[in-house]
Structure 1
Amino acid sequence: MTKTKKGGLPLHWLMLIGFVVGLAGGLAVNMLVGPETPWVVWVTSNITGPAGQIFLRLLFMLVIPLLFSALVVGVAEMGDLKSLGRAGIKTLLLTIVVSSIAVVIGLVMVNLFRPGDGVDPALAQQLLAQGAEGAGNIVENAPESVQLGQFFLDLIPSNVFTAAADNQILPVMVFALMFGIGLVMAKSPNTDKLQTVIEGILEVTMTLINLVIKLAPYAIACLMFNLAALFGWDLLVRLAAYVGVAVGAMAIHMFIVYPAVVWFGAGMSPVKFFRGIREPMVVAFSTASSNATLPVALRAADEQLGLPRKIARFVLTVGATANQNGTALFEGVTVLFLAQFFGIDLTITQQLVVMLVCILGGIGTAGVPAGSLPVVAMILVMVGVPAEGIGLILGVDRFLDMCRTTLNVTGDLVLATVVSRGEVEDPVVEDDPRPTVAAVA
């Protein structure tokens, strides 16, 4: 469990404390003195506002190197595609299909129940105007109708560095995917060294993100103070509706989509499947980390589900980074909820862009607690939503993180079960190092 220091409280408890403190202070200001009081305006403009913005800018600073390195490494780890043949292709296709279904479920739920509606439009526009400066919006001028030709043309950057500088995250992701594919195709000692360098960039970026996340309790307190002072009790009502919609969408994917995929795709009884993966589901929910759950998932795939070791190890190891259905669903729900909260009506084109970024973002999201926050922050900027809005969901993110991690890990095991259908188990060698499970831990 992540702690800020030896003997200290876990980080998610500190984040919850920061959420409560900021919310209580903001609600008190809203009810007792009002957000327009001069000293309140001074505090929000000179103390809490800049403090929250520093946290958000640190996240933005690390998004591009994180997504690029994670996507490249995720694709490069599929270097076994040549040896695994159809198993590798099935893994890639199923990852895209099931992640797409997850995002569509989330977007439909948010559009159907609209948990972000009901906030005073004047207040929403006030904060929207404050957060609009400096936002690199790649889709704010998107047309009302979908122009597929131009849309797909815009996916290919003429200059990837210009695209990165302009916060055009989707073209950067496409370049990263192509770079990863090229890294696999041009397999040589030199490309192995290059892959090691990119893996090093990913490790450095993740280390820096972990440092930034430690500032989250203070940033949450500042962001929530500003939001609660402005919106008052409407904030809590909308937040409860958001959690309900997010959990509901995850439940639909978990208990309807996954059983259907297991039943039709793998020919296995969903009851048998879920009975066999109880342990990794519990570990995923308690740790909120796909990476930490990987050893337990590998053991369940081997001992409980009886999947071929070679297939299970490949699919589950790659899936811990690349197949994150719950994260993709969460990101889509969160972006659309905050857009509704701030009165931003996203067009079909914009929602399509959000969906694609969420699918690719699921591949480029770190399998650690709060690993999706940088991606969410970047997507918010892309669609013109004030970055401060992320403070709304940070206080409840730990619970949602536990839920979506359980969905991620279950999705990896679903994928491994389907891909293993028709595959033959490798012959067991006497000294076969079962410690592979421990080594991944």
Structure 2
Amino acid sequence: MTLTGRPWPMPLKMGVGFAAGLLLGLVVHLTAGADAGWVQAFTRYVTTPASSLFLNLIFMLIVPLLFSALVMGIAEMGDIRALGRIGWKTLAYTVVLSGAAVLLGLLLVNVLRPGAGVDPTLAAQLLVQNAERSRDIVASIETQPRGIDMVLSIVPSNVIQAASDNGSILALMFFAVMFGVGMVLTDDDKVATLKRGIEGVFEISMTLIGLVIRLAPYAVFCFMFNLAAIFGFELLVRLGAYVGVVVLALGLHMFVGYGIAVRLAGRSPLKFFRDIQEAAVMAFSTASSNATLPTALRVADQIGLPHKVSRFVLTVGATANQNGTALFEGVTVIFLAQFFGVDLSLGQQFMVMLVCILGGIGTAGVPSGSLPVVALICAMVGVDPIGIGLILGVNHFLDMCRTTLNVSGDLTLATLVAAGEPEDVDDGGAHAPANGTAA
């Protein structure tokens, strides 16, 4: 596909696949109906196998990607011992901000319930097309630990077994975090080779994910055709409600949550949001925290954050402080559970929250970096990952929105960390007075 002689950008390709699958599916729903023989044959032998292949490729790369990303995310905080208080404050505030984001998202999606109300018969009809995957997911629900067993299961007795079981992915993530902490606490010269090797695994995983994502336009066509042929225009209503809830949650966390955090740091929230506009616009445009990092560093200098704080916090935050991504993942999983009529207990939602917080640390700061994690969490809590087809068509817009929150969160985090630091922590950068005006 080319556009004015140039290859089409991936978001546009996915948009075309989304629109084509949706329109054709709606036409089939209004004319032949999902029960027509040729429709069932087409979905059984063409669209469902194609979409299942895409999901299998995603799951194939989950373990190496998630493990290497989490280890590298923690290991990049290797200056924690050298920076002392700054490093540990960064880690603590990252967990607090990410936890608040996910909690807000889960509250809104449970109160507003954008995915509820779908005819369970229609949902079951869709799951029948993916019978084998659905059986595996239902079976995993029965084996999910409860109560104190759920807490104990976070610490794996066999990490290899945890890596091979979607339901034990939180245990794998715990091991990855511990492994990263171990690398931080070990002499650099003794782990340098291992660190480069894990970084190589991460780069290889990202390269392969990039190749798999090239299939996304075709997969999203198959996803949307199946969904639209069964649910008709009700699908559009649910999808619109989902986008509304995600944007509402992102907006509330940014302007209320970050506003409170900035106020606690002794700055004016209105002036803070006005000063970081350049970085926010760049984040929205590129949908990439990594691509926005140079702009964020410049903005940090302009608002008077100490260099030693801003360089450490923003560099780590581009990978590890993904508040918007964590919030998006939590809302998406609960929305899909509502859509398919899967009743998640408070314990399961708590697990979703934990995985989203850790997933925010281990999600690459690149466009669509959270899609594999969403599919993984869905399988973990018994929601058919086929449902990610619902969000693929609107993912790029939501990616732009959540990246804006991610980058704004990095600057908020840097402001919080800098607030309690003595003047001599800086190595040449300007300081902002306590009233929040830039020097």
Correspondence for 1:416: 414
Rounded to whole Å, the distance in 1 between the matches of 2:140 and 2:252 is: 30
Q: How does 1:295-306 map to 2 (within 5 A)?
A: 295-303=294-302, 305-306=303-304
Is there any run of 5+ residues in structure 1 with no aligned partner, and where? Answer: 430-441
- Over 3 Å counting, the alpha-carbon distance change for 1:427 and 1:342 in structure 2 is closer
Correspondence for 1:348: 346
Correspondence for 2:71: 72
Correspondence for 1:432: none
Q: How does 1:192-231 map to 2 (within 5 A)?
A: 192-231=192-231
Q: CA deviation at 1:422?
A: 3.2
- Over 3 Å counting, the alpha-carbon distance change for 1:235 and 1:183 in structure 2 is same
Rounded to whole Å, the distance in 2 between the matches of 1:298 and 1:228 is: 44
Rounded to whole Å, the distance in 1 between the matches of 2:60 and 2:355 is: 18
Rounded to whole Å, the distance in 2 between the matches of 1:254 and 1:138 is: 39
Aligned mate of 1:389, from 387, 390, 412 = 387
Correspondence for 1:160: 159
Which AA in structure 1 matches 2:220?
Answer: I
Correspondence for 1:44: 43
Rounded to whole Å, the distance in 2 between the matches of 1:132 and 1:40 is: 17
- Over 3 Å counting, the alpha-carbon distance change for 1:90 and 1:198 in structure 2 is same
Q: CA deviation at 1:141?
A: 2.9
Which AA in structure 2 matches 1:263?
Answer: R
Which AA in structure 2 matches 1:165?
Answer: S
| CA contact 1:137–1:382 (8 Å) conserved in 2 | no
- Over 3 Å counting, the alpha-carbon distance change for 1:400 and 1:427 in structure 2 is closer
Q: How does 1:98-137 map to 2 (within 5 A)?
A: 98-131=97-130, 133-134=132-133, 135=136
Which AA in structure 2 matches 1:271?
Answer: L
State the number of aligned residues: 423
Which AA in structure 1 matches 2:351?
Answer: V
Rounded to whole Å, the distance in 2 between the matches of 1:427 and 1:37 is: 71
Rounded to whole Å, the distance in 1 between the matches of 2:129 and 2:20 is: 23
Q: CA deviation at 1:210?
A: 1.0
Q: TM-score, normalised by structure 2?
A: 0.93
Q: CA deviation at 1:382?
A: 1.0
Q: CA deviation at 1:140?
A: 1.4
Is there any run of 5+ residues in structure 2 with no aligned partner, and where? Answer: 430-439
Matched, 1:242 2:242: yes
SS of the residue aligned with 2:6? coil
Which AA in structure 1 matches 2:26?
Answer: L
Q: How does 1:358-437 map to 2 (within 5 A)?
A: 358-423=356-421, 424=423, 425-428=425-428
Q: CA deviation at 1:137?
A: 6.7
Rounded to whole Å, the distance in 1 between the matches of 2:122 and 2:407 is: 40
Identity of aligned residues (%): 60
Q: CA deviation at 1:252?
A: 0.7
Cα deviations across residues 255-289 of structure 1 (Å, max 9, x unaligned)? Answer: 1000000101x111112211211101000001100
SS of the residue aligned with 2:142? coil
Q: CA deviation at 1:83?
A: 1.1
Cα deviations across residues 318-368 of structure 1 (Å, max 9, x unaligned)? Answer: 101110000000000000001000111111111111111111111111100
| CA contact 1:137–1:384 (8 Å) conserved in 2 | yes
| CA contact 1:138–1:383 (8 Å) conserved in 2 | no
| CA contact 2:61–2:205 (8 Å) conserved in 1 | yes
Rounded to whole Å, the distance in 1 between the matches of 2:197 and 2:75 is: 12
| CA contact 1:103–1:332 (8 Å) conserved in 2 | yes
Q: CA deviation at 1:378?
A: 0.7
Rounded to whole Å, the distance in 1 between the matches of 2:39 and 2:417 is: 58
Pairwise CA RMSD of aligned residues?
1.8
- Over 3 Å counting, the alpha-carbon distance change for 1:352 and 1:228 in structure 2 is same
Aligned mate of 1:321, from 286, 304, 319 = 319
Correspondence for 1:255: 255
Rounded to whole Å, the distance in 2 between the matches of 1:6 and 1:55 is: 28
Q: CA deviation at 1:129?
A: 4.0
| CA contact 2:44–2:129 (8 Å) conserved in 1 | no
SS of the residue aligned with 1:193? helix
Rounded to whole Å, the distance in 2 between the matches of 1:349 and 1:4 is: 48
Matched, 1:170 2:170: yes
Rounded to whole Å, the distance in 1 between the matches of 2:150 and 2:140 is: 11
User: Which range is displaced more, 351-360 or 379-388?
Assistant: 379-388
Rounded to whole Å, the distance in 2 between the matches of 1:6 and 1:384 is: 44
Cα deviations across residues 205-235 of structure 1 (Å, max 9, x unaligned)? Answer: 1111111111111110111001111111110
| CA contact 2:43–2:129 (8 Å) conserved in 1 | no
- Over 3 Å counting, the alpha-carbon distance change for 1:427 and 1:375 in structure 2 is closer
User: Which range is displaced more, 286-295 or 150-159?
Assistant: 150-159
Q: TM-score, normalised by structure 1?
A: 0.93
- Over 3 Å counting, the alpha-carbon distance change for 1:101 and 1:142 in structure 2 is farther
